[in-house]
Amino acid sequence: MLSKPIDTAPLKAQFAQLFGPGGKIHVVRAPGRVNLIGEHTDYNDGFVLPMAIEPYVLVACRGRDDATVRVASSHFPNQTIEFSVQSKIKREEPQWANYVRGVAAELLAAGIPLVGMEALITNTLPVGGGLSSSAAIMVSTGLAMLKVAGLTMDPSRLALIAQRAEHEYAGVPSGIMDQTIVAAAKAGHAMMLDCRDLSKQYIPLDPAELRVVVVNSMIKHENSSGEYAKRRKQCEEGVAFFQKQTPTIKALRDVTMTQLELSKGKLDDVIYRRCRHIVTENGRTIDFAMQLTKRNYELAGEQMVASHNSLRDDYEVSLPELDFLVDESMKQKGVYGARMTGGGFGGCIVALMQPGAVEAFTPAIQASYSKKFGTSPTIFATVPTGGANVLE
């Protein structure tokens, strides 16, 4: 259940204006996500613990009798793009459309018989905010293409297809966290995902006891900037080192604390610290899940702060703005924990707090951040929503 019903009428009206009236117009929604803990662990076969948030991507769509797909975005007026599901789909300008082309191409490659479609995309999810707008666009347009073809798909399979599209068409070697939570979230719950076997454990977040608050640093985050791919390579270097001694090690997920400690001095210091982040972050994520389940919110919050510090010092993906937001958040009454969330180098922090703490938190953080950095951050509290769905 979503917290507030979504009014789809304005989008459908815009759709009819753009593509003409008539036929059945469907509306598909995909949420953004915030990761509570388990950062950069997904591409190391590790554990992550995200939840879906209320801001979303919406797609209004209608099937066509031919094989032509025409897609527009309310954020890029006068840029309706077109391709055919019967020819090879190329990666080309404009960039935003590659998310759609990519999903179509990967669905076709998986043997899914797509048909033509008209679609209009809109979103309340900030693009470049580190809240998985790209995964939400891919999963929602994928679901739209399935819907107009009269098909359905297991959310975890759609997530894997969207991930392949992100690799091949957006040029980002992302892990599987974002697509999975966007496609398979459960309302009222966070999801602990084992990124090795893709098993999921849904953990309830009691709204009477907890609020999740997202603070956007307003610094645009981009996984395609190269730093993300660089971290992945450094992790692979780490795996190669540990594999030489212990051939059963397939990913950093398999490295123990003892093996890590023994590598100190032998492994290049940067690679050592990257590995230390991953090994300790997996431990923190498992412990966080346990503390959350037991309602030990203080202990869960401590793990969030430890995660942030490790991302700042060992993984080096934070920024002074994110560090400041975390420090300031932790000074507020009723806040259990805070940390940067997502790939890093901008985007958002997430704070876990008592419900009564939100009212004072928001103006306090707004004031201190504006004073220090001259920009007002966007702040919102959210409940965990369900995964992508066809609204009508």
The set of catalytic residues is 178
Stretch that binds ligand GLA, among 40-48, 247-255, 291-299, 375-383 (CB under 6 A): 40-48
Helix/strand/coil percentages in the chain, nearest 5: 45, 20, 35
* Choice between 107 and 177, CB closer to ligand GLA: 177
User: Which of 12, 32, 36, 43 is in the footprint of ligand GLA by CB under 6 A?
Assistant: 43
* Choice between 119 and 170, CB closer to ligand GLA: 170
Contact flag: residue 177 with ligand GLA (CB under 6 A) = yes
Min dist. Cβ of residue 196 to ligand GLA (A): 14
User: Which of 46, 155, 343, 377 is in the footprint of ligand GLA by CB under 6 A?
Assistant: 343
Contact flag: residue 175 with ligand GLA (CB under 6 A) = yes
Look at residues 179, 211, 237 and name the one whose alpha carbon lies nearest to residue 387: 179
Q: Tokens in use for 62?
A: 């209608």
User: Which of 42, 118, 254, 314 is in the footprint of ligand GLA by CB under 6 A?
Assistant: 42
Contact flag: residue 284 with ligand GLA (CB under 6 A) = no
Contact flag: residue 301 with ligand GLA (CB under 6 A) = no
User: Which of 29, 40, 273, 284 is in the footprint of ligand GLA by CB under 6 A?
Assistant: 40
Residues 313-342 that bind ligand GLA (CB under 6 A): 342
Look at residues 170, 144, 143 and name the one whose alpha carbon lies nearest to residue 157: 143
Q: Tokens in use for 214?
A: 């997202």
Give Cα 48 to chain centroid, integer Å: 11
Residues 198, 156: contact at Cβ < 8 Å?
A: yes
* Choice between 174 and 332, CB closer to ligand GLA: 174
Q: Is 167 exposed, middle or buried (0-12, 13-18, 19+ CB in 10 A)?
A: middle
Cα–Cα distance, 102 to 108 (Å, whole number): 10
Stretch that binds ligand GLA, among 35-43, 91-99, 284-292, 318-326 (CB under 6 A): 35-43
Cα–Cα distance, 271 to 235 (Å, whole number): 7
The amino acid that residue 115 corresponds to is V
Q: DSSP class of residue 23?
A: S
Name the β-bridge partners of 189. Answer: 204
Stretch that binds ligand GLA, among 21-29, 172-180, 276-284, 299-307 (CB under 6 A): 172-180
Site string for ligand GLA, 206-235 (x = CB under 6 A): -----------------x------------
User: Which stretches of the chain are DSSP H helices?
Assistant: 9-19, 97-109, 133-148, 155-169, 177-184, 227-245, 257-263, 269-293, 297-313, 320-331, 358-373
Number of residues that bind ligand GLA (CB under 6 A): 11
* Choice between 343 and 377, CB closer to ligand GLA: 343
Stretch that binds ligand GLA, among 38-46, 94-102, 239-247, 366-374 (CB under 6 A): 38-46
* Nearest residue relative to ligand GLA (C-beta): 175
Look at residues 227, 251, 219, 241 and name the one whose alpha carbon lies nearest to residue 315: 227
Min dist. Cβ of residue 119 to ligand GLA (A): 23
* Choice between 83 and 315, CB closer to ligand GLA: 315
388 φ, ψ to 5°? Answer: -55, 140
Q: For binding to ligand GLA (CB under 6 A), which residues are involved?
A: 39-40, 42-43, 174-175, 177-178, 223, 342-343
